[in-house]
Chain A
């Protein structure tokens, strides 16, 4: 039943086939592209004449990272004078999946030491004066989590 089905979240620029099909290489200009598709999601690497529109839909997957439901890329290449030279669309099949390298360039800096964190935000982060702090006020309070006599097993209360 559809209660389990995750709703896909639209990502990136919302463009559809009959939007970008109106662009004609050779005549359309940058302004036409902006009117029809909005501003580009990203520009090409080191090249401002290549406009890339990325339109995806990701959905929540249990125990894993989000999954990709729809992945569509539209690449517009403009000539020096601003007219559209070529238009290319790529779909999920053209993707070349690559594993993400886990190594990271180190970035030192002051991190919070454990003791200071465990004792709460003492010191200069936020001084102690707001003693009230968080905690649930929905009436359970201290007594809420006390299991009391007779509840020996785990999970036998409603």
Chain B
């Protein structure tokens, strides 16, 4: 017995020609009656399997499920469209819409990141299949946000272990962020936490090395200021530590991070994403004067291993 009442039964569209069914569906979409729209397209596909509208009806049905927030049905519908019409002009849009469905289900860092991993795969598929399409650029932007999200989870677990004084666990988590998520904006904090843990363990040379890498790559960041004061307290500083906060000629620290859309809010239509500030240039970490960082980028699957 549903305690919270269930939606009124969706109005069953009456049988009409394929043309009118299709247009009714589009009108229903425009007036936000997404369930009716989906039903219209469904009836069209059942009764006119050979009309020219079937391909578009499938795509628009998937789109109405997406707008309704019923992501599993939307993905299933879009997969059916992609299976039957792989070479249609709208295949790029179908892949992109499918990726958006996963992207909407990303939970916050405290929870299971399965949604993030799935959306990264779907977004990567958009890029590999349609590199020139207008969706590829936005998909790349969203992949960086997903990667940033995964880095956020690593940091969260690292901080938990550091708080519980399991330094042996925390240090590995921070190192993984620095190695596998170099382009995310959690790296400065990861480096600072490494300085903290190394000092707690008494490994002063490792602490100084992490501090120097932090100083050279993120001189303006507050995290460097914290690390600097920690190292200073134990007189571990030396001349090749840049003074924190001083603006070197390099451009100011990259713009604030972009926030991925919240679940409840409707996903901004792809064009809306266009106005976001230019994606942050991936910070080049190789500049560190001390021992060179492991040069080769992490293999993609390792980054996704959670």
Contact = CB atoms under 8 A, between A and B. Distances in A.
B194 to A, nearest CB: 6
Given A48-B294, A107-B108, 4 more contacts: A58-B165, A105-B152, A110-B262, A110-B263
Contact of B201 (A90, A100, A113, A128): A90
A42 interface: yes
Give the 6 A-B CB pairs with smallest separation, nearest first: A110-B263, A107-B152, A94-B202, A109-B108, A12-B168, A54-B168
Interface stretch (A65-73, A132-140, A144-152): A65-73
Interface of B: 2-4, 104-110, 148-149, 152-153, 155-156, 159, 162-168, 171-172, 175, 185-186, 188-189, 192, 194-196, 198-204, 206-207, 209-210, 213, 222-223, 226, 230, 233-234, 257, 259-260, 262-264, 288, 290-294
Interface in A81-131: 90-91, 94-98, 100-101, 103-111, 113, 119, 122, 128
A76 interface: no
Given A45-B209, A109-B260, A75 B203 contact: yes
Contacts of A122: 4
Contact of B226 (A42, A90, A101, A110): A101
Interface of A: 11-13, 41-48, 50, 52, 54, 56, 58, 65-68, 71, 73, 75, 90-91, 94-98, 100-101, 103-111, 113, 119, 122, 128
Contacts of A128: 2-3
A119 B2 CA distance: 13
A113 B288 CA distance: 43
B203 A52 contact: yes
Contacts, number: 136
A109 B145 CA distance: 10
A134 B204 CA distance: 51
A58 to B, nearest CB: 6
B165 A96 contact: no
The prevalent SS among residues of B at the interface is helix
B196 A101 contact: yes
Contacts of B162: 100
Q: Is the interface of A mostly helix, strand, loop or mixed?
A: loop
A8 B233 CA distance: 31
Contacts of B292: 46
B199 A98 contact: yes
16 contacts: A44-B206, A45-B209, A68-B165, A95-B201, A95-B202, A96-B204, A96-B234, A98-B233, A100-B159, A100-B162, A105-B185, A108-B259, A109-B107, A109-B149, A110-B264, A113-B264
Contacts of A41: 168, 172
Nearest to A106: B257
Contacts of A43: 175
A42 B175 contact: yes
Q: Which residue, of A46, A94, A128, has the highest number of chain B Cβ atoms within 10 A?
A: A46
Nearest to B71: A124
Contacts of A96: 199-200, 202, 204, 207, 234
A91 B164 CA distance: 19
Nearest to A119: B4
Contacts of B202: 73, 90-91, 94-96
Contacts of A50: 206
B31 to A, nearest CB: 25
B230 A98 contact: yes
A103 B195 CA distance: 15
